[in-house]
Amino acid sequence: MKVVSTVAELRQLIPGSGTVGFVPTMGALHEGHQSLINRARSENDFAVVSIFVNPAQFAPGEDFDRYPRTLESDLERCREVDAVFVPGVPEMYPVFPPAAKVTFPELADKLEGEVRPGHFDGVGLVVSKLFNIVGPCRAYFGKKDRQQLAIIRRLVLDLNFPVDVIGCETVRESDGLALSSRNVYLSDDERARAVKLSRALFSINESRSSDVAELRASALQILDGETVDYLVIADPDNLDPVTELTRPAVALGAMRLGNTRLIDNLDIDPK
């Protein structure tokens, strides 16, 4: 494992032949990230992980400054990869804020975008930059961030990045809570309540009803008393709400526990 912090050093390391697998992260790595890293390693000749807390995807007042930074243990999780790219902000953005913009008006304004305006523009820009820097054949993203995955797929399609985007299953705690770097913010009481989000989503798959309004209403009952930003059953490609479950769909939810926002989603089988 080579750890580098400049674009020039990274480009020197990346071989000219064979497949390159890439996992972009913001660090604070957990078993969810590990599953992406393991796939990148096993499916490619050369595996690269980036660790960069991207200021362009945080709005003022969000948790950029307090986002967990755990480089030492992150590098432990990357021991088997070929290169770890850990750039500072000036390396990624010689001029900040950048003048270039990547926007996704349709896909990025709904769901997370309603609460975090501009977030996916920042994601789209940094992922474009990282694809240009790393030049991967395959890039591994978690289904945990489903709207992000949908946006990255469109980014690759629309801008002709020669990258195969691989969506990886969400890794969960034994009670169902999706692993997230932000779970460390939760108090014991919040952690106990957090599980309601995945329970609500699983209840949609477990129900025999095909009535979307009814499914949503009973899932929301599980979240009764909690602050729910959204809970929708949507088309997996464009994330627009669906009215019937005749095709595979995805249920997406977001809740707030104190100052922490949690998101989760689940594939829903047709009924």
Catalytic pick from 10, 20, 33, 48? 33
Instruction: Please confirm, yes or no, whether 33 is among the known catalytic residues.
Output: yes
The minimum distance between CB 210 and ligand AMP, in angstroms, equals 28
Least distance CB 266 / ligand AMP (angstroms) = 12
Q: Which two tokens stand for residue 17?
A: 């032949």
Member of 115, 166, 171, 228 binding ligand AMP (CB under 6 A)? 171
Interaction between residue 183 and ligand AMP (CB under 6 A) = no
**The two three-digit tokens of residue 193, written as one number:** 């309540």
170 binds ligand AMP (CB under 6 A): yes
Candidates 10, 14, 22, 33; binder of ligand AMP (CB under 6 A) is: 33
Closest distance between ligand AMP and the C-beta of residue 86, in Å?
Answer: 13
Residue with smaller CB distance to ligand AMP, 27 or 242: 27
C-beta closer to ligand AMP: residue 87 or 142? 142
Q: Nearest distance from residue 184's CB to ligand AMP, in Å?
A: 12
Stretch that binds ligand AMP, among 24-32, 75-83, 91-99, 198-206 (CB under 6 A): 24-32
DSSP string, the chain: -EEE-SHHHHHHHS-SSS-EEEEEE-S---HHHHHHHHHHHHHSSEEEEEE---GGGS-TTSSTTTS---HHHHHHHTTTSSEEE---HHHH-SSSS-S-----HHHHSSTHHHHSTTHHHHHHHHHHHHHHHH--SEEEEETTSHHHHHHHHHHHHHHT---EEEEEPPPB-TTSPBP-GGGGG--HHHHHHHHHHHHHHHHHHH----BHHHHHHHHHHHTTTSEEEEEEEE-TTT--B-SB-SS-EEEEEEEEETTEEEEEEEEE---
**What is the smallest separation between the CB atom of 141 and ligand AMP, expressed in angstroms?**
4
Q: Please report where in the chains the tokens 């969960």 appear, as a residue.
A: 172
Figure out which of the listed residues 71, 179, 195, 228 binds ligand AMP, where binding follows CB under 6 A.
179
142 forms part of the interface with ligand AMP (CB under 6 A): yes
The count of chain residues that interact with ligand AMP, using the rule CB under 6 A, is 17
- The residues of the shown chain that bind ligand AMP, judged by CB under 6 A, are 25-26, 32-33, 35-36, 141-142, 144-145, 168, 170-171, 178-181
